A and B are shown apart, each in its own frame.
Chain A
Amino acid sequence: MNIINYLSNMAVPMVILFIIIYGVIEKNKVYDTFIEGAKEGIQVVVNIFPTLIGIFLAVGALRSSGLVELIINILKPILQIFEIPAEIMPLALLRPISGSASMAVATDIISKHGADSVIGLIASTIMGSTETTFYTIALYTSAVGIKKTRFVLISALIADITGMLVSVAICRFMS
């Protein structure tokens, strides 16, 4: 528990320290490079902004209409077997399809339940450890005109489900 927190706390400062020292040793103009890279961050956020509004509208509608609660109540008995909180199901289902949509859903879940709650931690860990599987497969295969993807989807989904189950288990253990 404490070790998990300690290592997690160490990771960011260590990575920044390491990269900057590395840059200085190799005599790069680290500050100029940093500024140049930071500019790119603005573009990332600007690009994602319209999607955020669109998805927040849909997710907000789903939740405020009471539909999410209805679905959660239906799914609860099944999910309880695996000790998966039903609240993260919208994220688990959207995650393989769209990166920005699942980001909006994760934000919604985290802000509703609290960033440091078990559900908030699970949602964060799922977001960090899985990818937009369907999108990635579609992008990489269509770029070279491939139609037969063989076992790729099965393996990628096995990876996603494993990642999600492990996320739930670790976060339950942590708190």
Chain B
Amino acid sequence: MLNIIWPIFIIISYLYAICVGNVSEINQSIFESSKSAVDLSITFLGTMCLWTGIMRIAQKTSLTTQLTNLLKPIMKILFPDIKREDIAYKEITMNIVANILGLGNAATPLGLKAMKTMQKTNPKKDTLTNSMAMFIIINTASIQIIPTTVIAIRSSLGSNNPTSIILPVWIATICAAVAGTVSAKILMKKY
């Protein structure tokens, strides 16, 4: 996708700048952009390492299994076809817990594993089952306790209160997740 969008952005912008006479601004932005990428990465590095460190501690404790137990009632509503003793059940909950803790690197492989397990019992191999569809929608909802990336960006850009967006993010995420799952529940009966 970006292989198409990226060149289009650059070509159109440069041509437009030439047409309206903004060439010197364009010229300046070329060098500023690489400089700001370095600035951002360096300030970003600190907060990022802090969180991957903290979350690694969480990963090593039994916290993940505790959280898995908390998910039980939600699992029943979202995945009525998947039983507690299924392998897929464990993989799905582990993926959701990894997402909640902000362990993106751990969440994706777990998620792919869960998809493969669910595909084994899928009667129509080229079509998503209800559970698989629901699982993907949950993974697009970005359920996270601490939105670490955004906090890192905000503190690197001189915010007086980088964490002030945590509660708004929680509310927005929950609304988005509810809208996604409820619409899926309705749509899966028709399509």
A contact residues vs B (CB 8 Å cutoff)? 4-5, 7-9, 11-12, 15-16, 19-20, 22-23, 26, 28, 30, 33-42, 44-45, 48-49, 52-67, 70, 97-98, 101, 103-104, 106-107, 110-111, 115-116, 120-121, 124-134, 136-137, 139-141, 143-152, 154-156, 158-160, 162-164, 166-167, 170-171, 174
Q: Main SS of chain A's interface residues?
A: helix
Interface-centre pick from B56, B115, B118 (highest chain A CB count, 10 A): B56
Residues of B within 8 A of A28 (CB): 57, 60-61
Residues of A within 8 A of B86 (CB): none
Residues of B within 8 A of A49 (CB): 37, 41
Is the pair A60, B188 in contact by a Cβ cutoff of 8 Å? Answer: no
Within 8 A of A (CB), among B80-135: 105, 108, 111-112, 115-116, 118-119, 124-128, 132-133, 135
How many CB-defined contacts (below 8 Å) exist between A and B? Answer: 346
Given contacts A38-B49, A44-B52, contact A145 B125 (CB under 8 A): yes
Q: Main SS of chain B's interface residues?
A: helix
A166→B173 CA distance, assembly (Å): 9
A128→B152 CA distance, assembly (Å): 11
B71 located at the interface, meaning its Cβ lies under 8 Å from any Cβ of chain A in the complex: no
Residues of B within 8 A of A55 (CB): 6
Is the pair B56, A125 in contact by a Cβ cutoff of 8 Å? Answer: no
B contact residues vs A (CB 8 Å cutoff)? 1-2, 5-6, 9-10, 12-14, 16-17, 20, 22, 25-26, 28-30, 32-34, 36-37, 40-41, 44-45, 48-63, 105, 108, 111-112, 115-116, 118-119, 124-128, 132-133, 135-137, 139-142, 144-147, 149-151, 153-154, 157-169, 171-173, 175-181, 183-184, 187-188, 190-191
